[in-house]
Amino acid sequence: MVDPDGRLPRRREDAAVAAKLKHSGVTRRNLLASAALLITTSGASARVITKALPWRPNEADPVTPVVPGGYLFFTAGEAAVVDAIVDRLIPTDELGSGAKDAGVTTFIDRQLTGPYGGHDWLYMQGPFSSNPLPSQGLQSPLTPRQQYRQGLAALESYCKANFAGRSFIQLNADEQDKLLAGIEKGEVKFENFNSRMLFGAIYANTMEGYFADPIYGGNRDMAGWKLVGFPGTRYDYRDVMEKPNQAYALPPVGLGGRPAWGGH
Amino acid sequence: MARRLPRKDVVIVGLGWTGSILAYELARTGLEVVAIERGPWRDTAADFNIGTTPDELRYAVRHDMFLRPKQETLTMRNNPSQTALPIRKWGSFLPGNGVGGAGLHWNGQTWRFLPDDFRIRSHMIERYGESILPEGNHIQDWPVSYDELEPYYDKFEYVAGISGKAGNIKGDIQPGGNPFEGVRERDYPTPPMTQGFAQGLFTKAATGLGLHPFPRPSANISIAYTNPYGCSMAPCTYCGFCERFGCANYSKASPQTCVLPALVREPSFEARTECEVTKVNLSVDGKTATGVTYVDASGEEWEQPGDIVLVCAYSLFNVRLLLLSGIGKPYDQASDEGVVGRNYAYQTGSGSTAFFEDAKFNPFAAAGSLGVALDDYNSDNFDHGPHGFVGGASITSAHTNGRPIQYHPTPKGAPTWGSAWKKAVHETYQRVTNVGAQGSVMSYRNNYLDLDPTYKDPLGRPLLRMTFDYQDNERKMANWMADRCDEIAKAMGAKTTQINRLVGPWSVVPYQTTHNTGGAIMGSDPKTSVLNRYLQSWDVSNVFVMGASAFPQNAGYNPTGTVGALTYWALDAIFNYLKSSGPLVQP
Amino acid sequence: MRLRHLIALLPLIAAGGAAAESDNYVDIARGKALVTAGDCVACHTAPGGTPFAGGLPLQTPFGVIMTPNITPDNATGIGNWSANDLARAMHEGRRPGGTYLYPAFPYPYYTKVSRADVEAIYAYLRSLPAVSNSVNRNTLPFPFNIRLSMSGWNALFFTPGTFAADPKRSDEFNRGAYLAEGLGHCGACHTPFNAFGASKASQYLRGNQIDNWTAPNITNDMHAGLGKWSVDDIVQYLKTGQTRFSLASGPMKDVIENSTSKMPAADLKAIAVYLRERGAAGSPAPVPLASSDPRMQAGEAIFTDTCSACHMRSGAGVEHMFPKLAGNVVATQDDPASLIRIVVAGGRAAATDERPTSPAMPSLGYRLDDDEVAAVVTYVRNSWGNAASPVSADTVRALRSKVTRVGE
């Protein structure tokens, strides 16, 4: 096939000559092509790549480590309730720290301030169906932030109405457990809010916060990882493969390191 | 109004596995090639940095590296009588995004389909009679045979550096390999991976049952390797952050490790990232593609003319692009006419979880394709007569990871929270393994893709609509396989087992596989296929469409090996096309 | 007929400026090879600019100098220079008219280049397309902008004179010496500077810190230099940027990509013979730090967790991919700058047609604080038979600020 410029497609043998001609300087075509690509974006990676693999020093995309202390989304009241709930879901006991002591409430708080909290990456265009099939998954227009704000408020109303004016944090452990179990099974219904949605969100976020890298504010001192024996981010287990069915001895390490690294 | 750019010889939509391979092979002959990719550039040291990549929350749970549903998603329903709703958050499958595509966050399980798979319709009719085929099926023979593809499987395996043990070299069955595999010229380029404790138990148990286990072919490379393109890889470290993650130490075959370093050096190649192709443009008579239109990251529209257009955008998005561009007749389920969107298929998963009294499986020491498999129950390697289903499954003992957010197993009936839950998690993590069956899905009239009437993407174009459910045939097959898995799990010495069956309608919620096949299938008849045997469009002869969208139905394996082979197969045809133009096959 | 056809393959677009004077293809081709050996393009090309058209800001201890345009443009380049003018510049560091050049242009090394080679270089430079690019040649601050002061500098530190072969040495050694001491100007980076920015002749090739990288000792010293490398290792390194020990990164990677990888194998071998045979010079090996030292303990933990996946617990590395750290000469130089900056900022190996992967060391500056970098670098310098001075957090801190400047 001969194109309008009269060029024939070249095979490997001719490529050497072709390469020489192209390397010999800036051809008019290259100039025109590169000038026409006015790709102006804010993202550092939006680019045209030719001739060489791009590389820059200091290029990495780390997450900003969560600094614990205070809450950026939860009110003090909300945080106290979340603390209490996660403490029931994963209590502190002889197997080690539970979710509350592991910082899960801080984890959830910080997650809610990020793209997860607003479902920023999800498809949130309407219309939203009010009776989706279970197989169609998440169909609620409520973002996690809304779910927590509205859900926790609904929980408070429910408690006040059904426990003689007491709020959730004033119930004893048994009462809290019973209530949570009821919500989980769908037997307890809130007014104006789907109680299972609140439980689902807190449960999922608790698992995340308990087992995610400590850099996100939860899994403090790698309590979750120590519970199961997960070594974290070590990234090289060839020694383990050489010794099947044997206990693993090294302590876990996270994205931010571990105490033996000696840093601050 | 789109601004027109200088013409290129080859325009490639999407820079994943198939796009990279075609771009390199064409650019190295001097052709002017541009690849247009809607996601970002991705590079090992910057994006899969060893200090950022092993982050389960970010990549496995929040899906940082995948296509964001906000940018594009699908709508789904199980059958045509329902209303499709958007998949607002990925679950069942995880489409990739960016340079490398799914090829950088895959597990690396790399298979060849079996010879019978390529003519499964004829074969099953010959052996069992037509009545064995399930109701409403669209099963079709492939227009290409295993023997024709063998050299191209080989080519892809050598570019990817696949680690494995051949089972049948030139007709000689190799001990320790897969005795059922098709004849091949030579062994894999690198030796099999080091297997784990569970795999040792599986091998022993399966052999004792008269089955034929072999190491699963793996794109997590076992030794340092340099491929025919001069690109080098390092050995896998069994880090357990394979699927959903980029590899930090150059040991997972991907476009990044296997093709891009050589591709970018080709002077006539250019990659444009963060540019989304919105349409393949056609001549007035609709018979020739003139190029593509794309939108760059600032929202500006451009027209890129080209002599040939290679659609390499991933199976689902290939189909959508064809529909939006008016290439080929859209499939209409009601009349069973048309072809674009026809024969969508998927994959079944079932198996048995095995709980041991005392074991240290160390599930965190893992790799994406670490595993031992057997094909005794795959394809038609066993007598289907008594069972009343078609299809089969590869059965595998594998650990791909032990990442605790998503993997903290407990026995059935254990509490889901509280101290008792903690105790169960603590005791179970090291003591559980599984035997899994990954099975075929046939094609059916009721499983198809088309454009959604209601939901749109941010550019205002209709989303792709997926109508799919597992049919009785697949459930029967998958649940029969689950029992086979359970037999093996018990023979491994499990104290208790828990069978995992395929129940209920297909749901988008739990992850299953990202093996979406069909929708732009290859065939011998333009009435029932979109592409001819060379992946060339029947309707627009300068358009070729890569990917698993070409599969007439899916077999009992991951698709990537076959996708790679078909790409090299099509490449030869593309060179022929460049010499003499026009359709390569007369229907 | 044939000659002209061959010349057509060279960049001879005569747009303005002098037409290609010489029909002598042989001279032009020879000149091109010499210009490759001298790596002229590396300094005389601005970032993103046209090759040889100048405009690269060179950091010197005395300020920034912009490199001149050496294409044959009459107004902004060296279009008006004769072969004698070029010879004077290279041999004496003087421009036409007598003004002095700064030794950022390494004329103390180029002085060794033979007249015949200078003429071939001249023929090649004349054959380039003339590019109009006006470069500001007076950017140094007072008093360094007074070029006349170079006469004093030259009197103290510069001995002109073309190369003289040593009759006691082999032809190959002398060829290597001619290349390395002249066009190669290896000493310009690999020799420590004195306070006036001149190479310390007595410390020739014993290593230097330049632009926050370590240019290592390349004498034949067993501990500090190339003593463990064979001639073939050196040739491999210059040709591909890789050996069984090492992968080049930093400025040497650029030298390899632009210059040495394109030189004939015989020349690279001659340079290797020269380096191996001219003798060893280095400080004696220190005693390695004990593994019980707290810095080594912390370093080992960090190394195990974040380095061993690539470099192996044994420090063996992976061929063609990750440098071997055990016995690695760059790692054990007195000056740890390269090691520190690679850990903090990352680095990328050379890319050649034969080996395009150019594996990159990830930047870990965000992950490791100054104490941690100091510990792991100390660990690498003192493990697997390596022995070198420990590194302090203060050293890391100072270097970190230099290598993480925005836009670096």
Residue B268 to residue A3, Cβ atoms within 8 A: no
Instruction: Answer whether A260 touches C (CB < 8 Å).
Output: yes
List all residues of chain B from 25 to 44 with a beta carbon under 8 Å from chain C. 43-44
The reported pLDDT for the residue numbered C157 is 83
Query: For chain A, what is the mean pLDDT?
Result: 85
Q: Burial level of C341, CB count in 10 A (0-12/13-18/19+)?
A: buried
Nearest CA in chain B to C365: B51
User: Measured between CB atoms, does B235 come within 8 Å of chain C?
Assistant: yes
Q: Chain B contact for A251, CB < 8 A? A: no
Question: Alpha-carbon Rg of chain B, whole angstroms?
Answer: 23
Residue B178: predicted pLDDT: 98
Structure tokens at B237: 């470290």
| pLDDT score at A35 | 29
Contact B45 C322 (CB under 8 A): no
Number of helices and strands in chain A (H, E) = 9, 1
Whether C321 and B234 lie within 8 Å, measured CB to CB: yes
List the 75-114 stretch of A: residues with Cβ below 8 A of B: 88-91, 93, 95, 98
Greatest Cα pair distance in chain A? 90
Distance CA B393, CA B111 (A): 13
Residues B218-222, mean pLDDT to the nearest whole number: 98
Q: Is A246 on the interface with B (CB under 8 A)?
A: yes
Residues of B within 8 A of C360 (CB-CB) are 43-46
pLDDT for the residue numbered C25 = 82
- Residue C195: the pLDDT is 79
**In which residue ranges of chain C is pLDDT below 50?**
1-20, 407-408
B224 at C interface, C-beta within 8 A: yes
Q: Do residues B441 and B345 make contact, with C-beta atoms less than 8 angstroms apart?
A: yes
Distance from CA of A92 to the nearest CA of B (A): 8
Give the number of C-alpha atoms closer than 13 A to the C-alpha of residue C152, restricted to the C-beta side. 6
DSSP letter (8 states) at residue B340? B
Question: Best interface-test mutation with A: which of C305, C314, C373 has the largest number of A CBs within 10 A?
Answer: C305
Task: Give tens-digit pLDDT for A71-100.
Answer: 999 999 999 999 999 999 999 999 999 999
pLDDT of residue C145: 77
Partner-chain residue, chosen from C309, C351, C357, that has the shortest CB–CB distance to B248: C309
Contact at CB, B230 and C321, closer than 8 angstroms: no
Cβ within 8 Å, pair A207-B405: yes
At residue A2, the pLDDT reads: 37
**Per-residue pLDDT band at A67 (split at 50, 70, 90):** very high
Report the residue of A230, A253, A255 to disrupt the B interface, i.e. the one with the largest count of B CBs within 10 Å.
A230
User: How far apart are the CA of C398 and the nearest CA of chain B, in angstroms?
Assistant: 23
Residues 257-296 of B with CB under 8 A from C: 257, 261-262, 264-265
Average pLDDT over residues B351-373: 97
Q: What is the mean pLDDT of the segment spanning B73-79?
A: 98
Flag whether residue C346 sits within 8 Å of chain A, measured between CB atoms.
yes
Tokens of B541: 């002869």
Q: pTM of the full predicted structure? A: 0.89
B515 catalytic per annotation: yes
Q: What per-residue confidence (pLDDT) applies to A5?
A: 35
Kindly state the helix (H) or strand (E) to which residue C178 belongs, with its residue range. helix C171-181
Least confident interval from B336-345, B371-380, C133-142: C133-142
Instruction: Say if the Cβ atoms of B196 and A244 lie within 8 Å.
Output: yes
* Mean pLDDT computed over B437-461: 97
Given B46, B51, B232, which is nearest C306 (Cβ)? B51
A63 with B58: Cβ contact below 8 A: yes
Q: What is the ipTM of this complex?
A: 0.95
pLDDT of residue C22: 53
pLDDT for C142: 78
Residues 281-320 of C with CB under 8 A from A: 294, 297-298, 301-302, 304-306, 308-309, 313
Residue positions counted in chain A: 264
Measure CA of the first residue to CA of the last residue in chain A; give whole Å.
66
Chain A residues close to C404, C-beta within 8 Å: 58
User: Would you call A138 and B89 a contact, using CB atoms and an 8 Å cutoff?
Assistant: yes
DSSP string over B304-323? EEEEEEEE-S-HHHHHHHHH
For residue C152, the surrounding DSSP H or E stretch is: helix C149-157
**N-term to C-term CA, chain B:** 38
Beta carbons of B43 and C360 less than 8 Å apart:
yes
- Where is average pLDDT lowest: B67-81, B321-335, B340-354, C161-175? C161-175
Question: What CA–CA distance (Å, rounded) separates C89 from C96?
Answer: 8
The C-alpha of B195 sits at a distance from chain C's nearest C-alpha, in angstroms, of 18
Nearest CA in chain C to B237: C309
**Partners of residue C354 in chain B, C-beta under 8 Å:** 230
What are B451-476's pLDDT values in tens digits?
999 999 999 999 999 999 999 999 99
Strands (E), B148-254: 168-169, 172-173, 214-215, 225-226, 232-233
Residue-wise pLDDT for B514-547, tens only, equals 999 999 999 999 999 999 999 999 999 999 999 9
DSSP states of A4-33:
TT-PPPP-HHHHHHHHHHHHTS--HHHHHH
Contacts with A238 from chain B: Cβ below 8 Å: 194, 235, 237-238
Candidates B63, B105, B399, B515; catalytic one? B515
> DSSP string covering B552-584, please?
SSB-SS-SHHHHHHHHHHHHHHHHHHHHH-S-S
Cα–chain-centroid distance for residue C293?
36
pLDDT, tens digit, 9 for 90 and up, residues A136-183? 999 999 999 999 999 999 999 999 999 999 999 999 999 999 999 999
- B49 neighbourhood in chain C, CB within 8 Å: 362-364
Domains of chain B and CATH, by start: 3-50+96-580 (3.50.50.60)
Residue A188 — pLDDT band, cuts 50, 70, 90? very high
Could you tell me if C75 lies within 8 Å of chain A, comparing CB atoms? no
Cβ count near C33 (within 10 Å) = 18
Is pLDDT at B189 greater than 70 in this prediction?
A: yes
Put simply, whether B4 touches C (Cβ < 8 Å) is no
Asked if A58 lies within 8 A of C11 by C-beta distance, the reply is no
Query: pLDDT at position C405, please?
Result: 66
B215 within 8 A of B165, measured Cβ to Cβ: yes
Residue A99 neighbours by CB distance under 10 Å: 33
Q: What is the rounded average pLDDT of the residues B300-322?
A: 97
Which residues have a Cβ under 8 Å from the Cβ of B242 and sit 6 or more positions away?
Answer: B107, B108, B220, B252, B366, B367, B368, B369, B400, B401
Restricting to A residues 10-49, those with a Cβ less than 8 Å away from any Cβ of B are 10-12, 14-15, 18-19, 22-23, 29, 32-33, 36-41, 43, 45-49
| CA C63 distance to own-chain centroid | 20
Find chain C residues with C-beta within 8 A of A257's C-beta. 302, 305, 367-368, 372
Interface-testing mutation among C307, C312, C321, C368, with chain B (most B C-beta atoms within 10 A): C321
A127 touches chain C (CB under 8 A): no
Is B10 within 8 Å of chain C by CB? no
Contact C310 B51 (CB under 8 A): no
B243 confidence band (pLDDT: 50, 70, 90): very high
A192 part of contact set with chain B, CB < 8 Å: no
Band (B96; pLDDT cuts 50, 70, 90): very high
